[in-house]
Amino acid sequence: MDSSSNINKALTETRFSDLEPPLSDDIIEVLERSGFEFCTPVQAATIPKLCSRKDVAVDAATGSGKTLAFLLPLVEILRISTSYPPKSHQVMGVIISPTRELSTQIYNVAQPFVSTLPNVNSVLLVGGRGKVEADMETIEKKGGNLLIGTPGRLLDIMERMEILNFRDLEILMLDEADRLLGTEFQKQVNDILSRLPKQRRTGLFSATQTEGVEELAKAGLRNPVRVVVRAESKSESSQQLTNSKTPSGLHLEYLECEADKKSSQLVDLLIENKNKKLMVFFMTRASVDYWKLVLSQIPTLKSMSLIRIHGKMKQNARDRALSSFSEASSGVLLCTDIAARGLDIPGIDCIVQYDPPKDPDDFIHRVGRTARLGRQGRAIVFLLPKEEDYVEFMDQREVPLQERKCSENASDVIPIMRSAAMKDRAVLEKGLKAFVSFVRAYKEHKCFDIFRWRELEIGKLGMGYGLLYLPSMSEVRQHRLSTEGFTPVEGVNFEDIKFKDKSREKQRQQKLEKARKEKQQKEKSEKGKKSSEMVVDACATTESYKVSRKRKLSGKQRARNRKLTGKQRQSIQKAEDEEEMAREYRLERKRRKGLIKEEDEPDA
């Protein structure tokens, strides 16, 4: 595999119009209209190779312009294809990315360039925007020559629509290839690849190439070129220029503090940047929901716009959140790693990682949402004292971190958070859920030798979450995690805390009433069952007495029989036999006359 390596500046001195093989005039015109004249390093290194019909595996810093690096060659390859112009259901190109938001962004960026190709129709295929049948109907009516989407929806379409013809596919692009080839999407991507012709151009793009990507490059790419673009980073301690996987304009910091101080430090940081645009990353969806709710209760943050986004939200809500945050000049986006990859949101000043990501590769993607295309930006990751080895670990991965001191002026917000939980059950319940979800996600951290969940100080962590009491968790009970530092709230019946939302409180009261009735019914049923059992026991005692009495009478009868002479016993037996014969004779006569059926006869 060939190798090409560059040191990233904001832009190179290479113009798009100077690239060889040359880009078409239509493409150059669209670029000039959009304000693009000079290439970024990854664009200058990648576009000529793809246009020269070479497969590429691109490893470049986030925010370096990878989207245009694969879109422009893709459009040019389709333009000069022997099958151009294609038939309506002839698929010429496929672009796959791991998230709906990223696929949508790629689709929108592609439209001005694809529009320079007459009779070529591009289709966005992602879930959450409607049923798959709607996409199928669109393709049937308008065709689909370029498919852009997520693995799940794309594979679904391929399996359902035999009308699509992939035999003349020219090019396949995998954006965020490391994630696409990870365990989450590996099966779907492999199924897609098995349906595509091997004679094609393939591009793999990511900021963090993995062994999986390497294996695919060896197995599926022909004469591949490896393009590695590293950013230039200056160490404050040595003032030496070093290679980094993060953008050159990004200043990376870590803030080390105890778990019960994190929330106060976060609020202080948000106040400090109240007129700026920030993204705050959490490890779980429940954490995003909780911190959105509880931070809105902090008086000093009332004027700030707090927006949340995570994968459990409906797609329309996710779209609105991204659109609102993108258009805002300031505010905070509280998010999970669904917003970590590829999204190009303008004007982000600072990235805050309240929880370090479970996968260290996602660290690079998270911080890459700022300092894009040569701009300046800042990123801060919160670490507990026992997690300090993470700094050296990231330094070995070419991601140097500088220490940031805790603010001594940060106000204690825990009393405010607890007061909010006392006034609104939603805060109480979401806090408990977020706490539990964080602990269980922490257990799954890939850097388990640094993030040791058995050493979590649950007490301090619970205080940092503003909990009124610690939830009963198996992790706490069985492994005896430290609850030191937690001060439970005394003299409060937590069941009396109501939802501020009256409709939710009404629903809760209805559920409680239903539960009370079911409990009463169960107790009544159990009481009736117990009474029945007592009656049965009494009956059983009575029957036992009768049987015992009968046995006694039989014993007396046998005693009397023993006193009879042999002649007397014969007379008694003869009388019984004659009576039996007479009874059978009467039955036989009735049977012959049809007065009784055999099944009506009494048992002998």
Tokens standing for residue 272: 């400090």
Instruction: Decide: helix, strand or coil at residue 5.
Output: strand
Nearest 5 degrees, angle CA 379-CA 383-CA 387? 135
Which one has a higher pLDDT value, 20 or 568? 20
Query: In what side-by-side order are the strands of the sheet with 250-256?
Result: 306-309, 331-335, 277-281, 350-353, 377-383, 250-256, 402-404
Which one has a higher pLDDT value, 181 or 583? 181
Instruction: Decide: helix, strand or coil at residue 423.
Output: helix
Q: Which residues lie below 8 Å from residue 127, measured CB to CB, with a gap of 6+?
A: 100, 150, 152, 153, 315
State yes or no: pLDDT of 241 exceeds 70: no
What average pLDDT does this structure show over 382-386?
A: 97
State yes or no: pLDDT of 380 exceeds 80: yes
State yes or no: pLDDT of 138 exceeds 60: yes
Tokens standing for residue 562: 């023993």
State yes or no: pLDDT of 359 exceeds 70: yes
State yes or no: pLDDT of 542 exceeds 80: no
> How many Å apart are CA 598 and CA 576, to the nearest integer?
24
**SS3 string of 567-584?**
HHHHHHHHHHHHHHHHHH
pLDDT of residue 505: 95
Reduced DSSP (H G I as helix, E B as strand, rest coil) percent helix, strand, coil of the chain, to 5: 50, 15, 35
Ranges 105-109, 115-119, 267-271, 568-572: which has the least confidence: 568-572
Which one has a higher pLDDT value, 519 or 335? 335
Residue 379 CB-half CA count within 13 A: 27
pLDDT of residue 474: 84
What average pLDDT does this structure show over 223-234?
A: 74
Q: What is the pTM of this model?
A: 0.81
Q: Could you count the other beta carbons within 10 Å of the beta carbon of residue 165?
A: 14
Backbone angles phi, psi at 121, to 5 degrees: -115, 130
Q: Is the dihedral of CA 286, 413, 391, 448 positive or negative?
A: negative
> How many Å apart are CA 586 and CA 595, to the nearest integer?
11
> How many Å apart are CA 134 and CA 151, to the nearest integer?
17
What does the pLDDT look like over 322-334, one tens digit per residue?
999 999 999 999 9
pLDDT of residue 214: 66
What average pLDDT does this structure show over 266-292?
A: 98
Ranges 44-53, 199-208, 404-413, 565-574: which has the least confidence: 565-574
**What DSSP string describes 293-321?**
HHHTT-GGGTTS-EEEE-TTS-HHHHHHH
Closest alpha carbon to 202 in 191, 179, 187, 218: 218
Per-residue pLDDT band for 354 (boundaries 50, 70, 90) equals: very high
Torsion, Cα of 195, 196, 198, 203 (10° steps): -130
pLDDT of residue 603: 45
pLDDT mean across residues, the chain: 88
Q: Which residues sit opposite 403 in a β-bridge?
A: 254
Q: Where are the alpha helices (DSSP H) in 314-472?
A: 315-327, 361-367, 389-396, 414-423, 425-442, 458-464
> How many Å apart are CA 436 and CA 438, to the nearest integer?
5
Ranges 457-466, 488-497, 568-577: which has the least confidence: 568-577
Pairing type for strands 241-244 and 225-234 reads antiparallel
**What DSSP string describes 127-187?**
TTSS-HHHHHHHHHHH--SEEEE-HHHHHHHHHH-TT-B-TT--EEEEETHHHHTSTTTHH
Give the rounded percent of residues in the chain with a pLDDT score beyond 90: 68
State yes or no: pLDDT of 548 exceeds 90: no
What average pLDDT does this structure show over 129-146?
A: 94
Per-residue pLDDT band for 547 (boundaries 50, 70, 90) equals: low
DSSP state of 602: P
Which one has a higher pLDDT value, 480 or 350? 350
Q: Which residues sit opposite 244 in a β-bridge?
A: 231
Ranges 86-100, 197-211, 440-454: which has the least confidence: 197-211
> How many Å apart are CA 27 and CA 34, to the nearest integer?
11
Q: For tokens 């040019």, what's the residue?
A: 76
Closest alpha carbon to 362 in 149, 174, 98: 98
Tokens standing for residue 600: 């009506």
DSSP state of 90: B
How buried is 15 (Cβ within 10 angstroms: 0-12 exposed, 13-18 middle, 19+ buried)?
Answer: middle
What does the pLDDT look like over 304-314, one tens digit per residue?
999 999 999 99
Q: Which residues sit opposite 234 in a β-bridge?
A: 241
What does the pLDDT look like over 559-572, one tens digit per residue?
555 567 777 777 77
pLDDT of residue 240: 47
State yes or no: pLDDT of 500 exceeds 90: yes
What domains does the chain contain, in order, with CATH numbers?
Answer: 2-234 (3.40.50.300), 248-490 (3.40.50.300)
Peptide bond preceding 21 in cis form (omega within 30 of 0): yes
pLDDT of residue 571: 75
Range with top average pLDDT, 42-46, 477-481, 541-545: 42-46
Per-residue pLDDT band for 357 (boundaries 50, 70, 90) equals: very high
pLDDT of residue 215: 64
Per-residue pLDDT band for 579 (boundaries 50, 70, 90) equals: confident
> How many Å apart are CA 591 and CA 381, to the nearest integer?
99
Q: Which residues lie below 8 Å from residue 500, measured CB to CB, with a gap of 6+?
A: 423, 424, 425, 426
Backbone angles phi, psi at 339, to 5 degrees: -100, 15
pLDDT of residue 60: 85
**Side chain identity, residue 327:** E
Nearest 5 degrees, angle CA 525-CA 526-CA 530? 115
What average pLDDT does this structure show over 184-197?
A: 93
Which helix (DSSP H) or strand (DSSP E) does residue 204 occupy? strand 201-206
> How many Å apart are CA 163 and CA 88, to the nearest integer?
10
Ranges 128-142, 216-230, 495-509, 534-548: which has the least confidence: 534-548
pLDDT of residue 597: 54
Nearest 5 degrees, angle CA 373-CA 376-CA 382? 115
In angstroms and rounded to an integer, the radius of gyration of the C-alpha atoms of the chain is 38
> How many Å apart are CA 480 and CA 260, to the nearest integer?
19
pLDDT of residue 286: 98
